[in-house]
Amino acid sequence: MKYDTPALRYPRLQDLTHQFQPIESAATGGAEWHEALVRWRLPDGTVRGPLDVLPFWLSPTRSDTFTRFTVTRAAAALLDAPGSRLSINLSPSQVTQPSALHALRTLKPELQGRLVVELTEQQIHNLDAYWQGLESLRGDCAMVLLDDVTFDDLDLRFRKGAPIDGIKLDRSLLPALLGGTYHQRAVDLVQDARERFDIVVAEGVEDPTARDHLAGLGVTHLQGFGIGRPVARIPQSRNASAARAGAHPGAPHPKPVGNAPELRLPADGSNVHND
């Protein structure tokens, strides 16, 4: 998409919002956390997704600003939903930026303890900086997950001892998991992942009746339209300690933060950061 098209302009931060899609336990069917999905609302009411937002905002000159925006908006959403957990997507490049680490480190501890980071797939140019950034980041959030894992990249994106709590399987693997071509290869991948992690999420689940089959393979969590559609606000959590399975022992425990008012955060992100 051409961002210089007058009718579309470019995705200004004030035009961006998030929807929240539940990730459910395969065993119990309860939502254990939600994923924040960025949306761009155009003046005519059209809503565009991340493919129209991220190429613009993850460019080298804008990435710092977008990282701070993402973390602050996520923290505000958590304030609005006491006891719930929320995941945000960060790229390996964002993890190496001081702005990302600072934005997470300065959040109030009760918000850090309910924020999950999903690491997106991206070529890593500086492995040393990436692993260092990941170590620092893990101490300031509840969990770290590898997003969109495929057949071929788990070993490339993980090393023994890395502070990663689980993976989310790319939606392209779902047909294989459900008995299609490469089924045994998909089963082997899940079993390999479960030997390393406590959390394995199957994405793109359209049929809720697939729950028992996927759970039988070792999948621990499910996400997709068949599980729950994205919503404008995170529903109130019934259990403030939900989704602690697989969390790093050093992560702070989630704590209720009281009733939050209608979400109207000032631009500086006050109320979510330590003084």
Reference 247, options 143, 171, 137; nearest CA is 143
CA pair distance 39, 73, nearest whole angstrom: 13
203 located within any domain? yes
Q: What is the mean pLDDT of each run of 10 residues along the chain (275 residues)?
A: 57 95 95 97 91 93 94 96 96 87 92 96 78 89 95 86 94 96 96 96 96 96 96 77 40 32 39 60
Residue 255 in contact with residue 84, Cβ under 8 Å? no
Q: Give the Cβ contact number of residue 255 at 10 Å.
A: 16
The whole-number pLDDT of residue 251 equals 41
Q: Are 51 and 60 in contact (CB under 8 A)?
A: no
Does residue 191 sit within a domain? yes
273 is a domain residue: no
CB 167 within 8 A of CB 193: yes
Q: Helices 98-105 and 63-79 meet at what angle, rounded to 10?
A: 20
Count of alpha carbons within 13 angstroms of residue 9, beta-carbon side: 11
What does the angle CA 41 – CA 43 – CA 45 come to, to the nearest 5 degrees?
60
d(CA 155, CA 85): 28
Q: How far is CA 261 from the centre of its chain?
A: 24
This prediction's pTM: 0.83
SS3 at position 24: strand
Give me the number of domains the chain comprises: 1
CA 97 from chain center: how many Å?
18
pLDDT reported for residue 130: 83
CATH number, domain with residue 120: 3.20.20.450
Position 33 in a domain: yes
The domain in which residue 118 lies consists of 20-222
Does residue 108 belong to any structural domain of this protein?
A: yes
Q: What is the DSSP string of 12-64?
A: -GGGEEEEEEEEEETTT--EEEEEEEEEEE-TTS-EE-GGGTHHHHTSTTTHH
Identify whether 267 is part of a domain: no
